[in-house]
Every structure is written in structure tokens, then in C-alpha cells.
Amino acid sequence: MKDKKRLIVYFILDLLSAFVAWQIFSIIRFYIFHSTTGFSDLSTFLFYPKAVWVSIFVPVFWVMIYYFSGYYTQPRRKTNLGDILNTAITTLVGVLVLFFLILIDDYPESPELYYDIILGFYIIHFICTWLLRLAITAPMINLQSKGELNVPIFVLGTGANALRVLGEFNKNRTNMAYKLMGFIRTGKTNIDMLPQEEILGTLVDLPALIEKYKVEELIIAIDSPNPDNKQSLLNKLYIYNLPIKSVASKNDMISGNVSLFSLFGIPMVRMTPLLMPVWQQNVKSFFDRFGSLVILILLIPVFIYLSFRVKNDSSGNIFYSQKRVGKGGKVFKMFKFRTMFSNSEPDGPLLSSVDDPRVTPFGRVMRKYRLDELPQFYNVLKGDMSLVGPRPERQFFVDQIVISAPHYYLTQGVLPGITSWGMVKYGYANSVEKMIKRLEYDILYLENQSILIDVKILIFTLKPLFKGRGV
């Protein structure tokens, strides 16, 4: 079963368990607190109009709670303990919310019953939900113990650290979700300390091997204490847009400047930025699309006016689409109101400047207040972009940037944004050198991203717009 199908099964069973739990709770509530329900028979209590609507609303409410908690992501990384903890915490949150939404007015004359109601609802919902989840997670974990449905990983290195990783993996098997596919020579050691059958190839072979084994993570296990060696290796790995970790050195563990975790019983250092917590990613995605939909609807009069002005300003299309590189290196069409005369790039991609003669008279006005960017809310609605994230570039300029700054590929780990920390702090970049300089702010954003940071960036973006300081 593929990840998407497995998540659909989790989703359907969560809907079913939420419905069953609510019906069981309602039946028990009727018989135990019969005198407080106001109904003489169970069927009337269960099927009067309000009860029917609540029976539909409650399961939908629960799967929304689970979605925002991040439960419907990375199904092959689930554990039985993780399911118990997630179910326990989300059930507590959901029960309290539903109590105040639905149940709090049911027993105005017997408030002492509220504690029994909350506890009973919690126990019933937790048991129903966890048992059905266990029916999916437990068999999956059993298959993972047999080497199926794992997350495939490569280890970069063939020396002492690589041998340590192999030994710990074979000895502990502490995380069945991962499967160690093999090791890659990096040229950072002169002696292979691993059995030859464990070595799959060199860095030259890595692209083909990643494709062949469908690898999802990379682990650096070179022996060199020289940080430059590790960085030079990282520069070659960024292009794959995969999470990268490294076996922690003594300096890493005592520096206090890195985030450490354990894999296969070995301390590891994250070498690529840690994304927002999953629940924040889901909240951000929801508000990106919902907010964009609202903005597009509210700005219909503005779109009509700008379309009229663009059409009368110069000949050509109202909208301008440009291929940009987005998340995971995926190319998409980014939309803008046209601000230049038609055929302004006859010889290939060119960056704009402040006094660019290609810009139309009304185009200058739109750029000043960044009104030309408004169609990008459609890109956000489609899922190509986010409200906040590193600005996407054209492939022509990406190819030039990565020559000097291969860590640019890190920005492709998240959706690009209409605005960014780089745009706020640095502004428009009209050369590759300035793009690389602005990249420092985008990397800083990746290292510290959160919903709160996104809100701050949006606020800081609005200030120069109202003052007409756009490009």
C-alpha cells in the first residue's frame, strides 16, 4: 500500500471511529443521565434534527483536529507509542473543544456531571480511535521489521564512522522505520573499513543510485575532523533536495549550537534546516489557500481596474506568466500583471533595474506598490507558492547562483513565497551577486521558520508597500 492510500485509510477509519465513539457516548449518556436528557426514548434522543447534524459535524471536526496535529503525514514513520501519544493529546484537545461547543448547555441544573461527561467521552473516543489506528500501524511496523515499507537511506562514507553506523544499525535496530540501503564512497578516506558488498558506489554514481533505491534521506559519516571537508561534501549534496544528517563529532555535542537527535542509537546533527512542526505547516497551508481565496474575491474590482489600465497603457497581454523554480525543483508558471512592453526579452532572461526603459508608464506605478504581484495569490491558491517563503527564481539564474552558492538548493525545500525575509531586509536583487547576498536572509528564515515569523514578515512587507517603496 502506497503512502497516499495508507493516509486515506487512516482518514476513513478516523471518521468511522469518531462517529462510532460519539454514538456510543450518546447511548451511554442517555441511559446513565436519562433524567437530564429530556427525552423518553433512545431513538428520539439519537435522531432528532440537532442530534443528526451533530453526528455529522463531530467526525468532520475530529479529522480536522488530526489534520492540523500533523497525524496525516509521513505514515511510514509512525510507531505504536507515537499513535498512543498523538491520540491521547488530540483526544484531550478535541473533547474539551466539543464540550464547550456542544455539551456545556445540556446540564445547567447538574454542573457536577460535567466531569463525568468529559472523562467518559475522553475514554470512549480514545479507545475507539486508538484501536482502529492500531489495526493499521501494527501490521505496518511488523512489515518494517521484515524490511518492507521502510524509509530508504544512504550513508556517505566508508571509514570508521561509517563502520560504527553499520554496527549500531545491525545491533540495535532501534528504528524500524528506516532501512539502510548501503554506503557511498566520498573520497574523504583512503581506506574502506566496510565489507565491499555494503559499498554501492561513489559520489559520481549517487544520482542514479538515489533514483534506483528511491532514497529519502542521506547521512554523512566521514572521518575527517576538518569542517571544510564536510562542507564541501554538503555542497555536492544540496542539489538532491533530501534531508541530510551527519554523525555528530565531539565538537558538535559540546558546542550547543546544533540540534542533536539519535538515529540507530548514534547522535546525529541535522545539516539541512528543520521545517516548521507539522501542525504549523498544516495551519500555514490552510491559511495560505483560504486567505488567497478571500483576497482574490475581495480584490475583483481592483483586478478589473488594473486590467483596464494595463490594456490601455500599452499593447500586449494583461497578464504575464514566467517559469520559476519552486519546491523540490519543480518548475511552475508564476503570474503577474504585465509591467513591461511586449517582447522585452528577445535575447533571453534579463533582470530589471530601477530605471529600466522596458517598463511601461503604468507598470512603474504598479511596481512601486507591487500591485503587479497580486495575481500570485492565484499561484498560492493552486499550491505552487505560499504567502511567505523564499522568492522563486528562473532556472537561468538558479544555474548561475548555485555555482557560487550551492546551498541555494535549500530554499527549494519549502514553497516559494509572494514575500520573503530576503525581500523585507534586502529588497529587489537586480544581479546574481545581489541574489546571493539576499540568499543569506532566506537561509536565516529557513533556520528559524515558524508561523509567528511568517506573520512578522507579512507585517513588515505591508509597511513599504503603503509608502510606495516597491521596485
| Whether residues 206 and 347 fall in one domain | no
Residue pLDDT, tens place only, 157-184: 999 889 989 988 887 665 578 889 999 9
CA distances for 311 relative to 25, 315, 316, angstroms: 62, 6, 7
Q: Which helix (H) or strand (E) holds 13?
A: helix 3-32
What are the two backbone dihedrals, phi and then psi, of residue 2, each rounded to the nearest 5 degrees?
A: -75, 165
What CATH number does the domain containing 201 carry?
A: 3.40.50.720
* Longest Cα–Cα distance in the chain: 84
The whole-chain average pLDDT of the chain stands at 88
Q: Give the chain's radius of gyration (CA, Å).
A: 28
CA neighbor of 379 nearest in space, from 428, 330, 443: 330
Instruction: Kindly tell me if the per-residue pLDDT of 147 is higher than 60.
Output: yes
Q: Report pLDDT for 146.
A: 81
Strand, coil or helix: 375: coil
Helix orientation angle between 3-32 and 113-145, rounded to the nearest 10 degrees = 150
Strand, coil or helix: 336: strand
| Whether residues 359 and 425 fall in one domain | yes
d(CA 175, CA 257): 26
Cβ contact 239:406 at 8 Å: yes
Instruction: Give the Cα-Cα-Cα angle 115, 118, 120 (nearest 5 degrees).
Output: 100
Q: Which domain holds residue 20?
A: 3-145
Q: Flag whether 471 is in a domain.
A: no
Length of the chain: 471
Which residues partner with 261 through β-bridges?
A: 268
Q: Report pLDDT for 253.
A: 65
| Whether residues 89 and 137 fall in one domain | yes
d(CA 100, CA 390): 40
Q: What pTM did the predictor assign?
A: 0.84
The total number of structural domains in the chain stands at 3
| Whether residues 53 and 84 fall in one domain | yes
| Residue where one domain finishes, among candidates 244, 270, 296 | 270
| Whether residues 260 and 285 fall in one domain | no
Instruction: Kindly tell me if the per-residue pLDDT of 249 is higher than 80.
Output: no
| Whether residues 169 and 285 fall in one domain | no
Residue pLDDT, tens place only, 38-70: 677 888 888 888 889 999 999 999 999 999 998
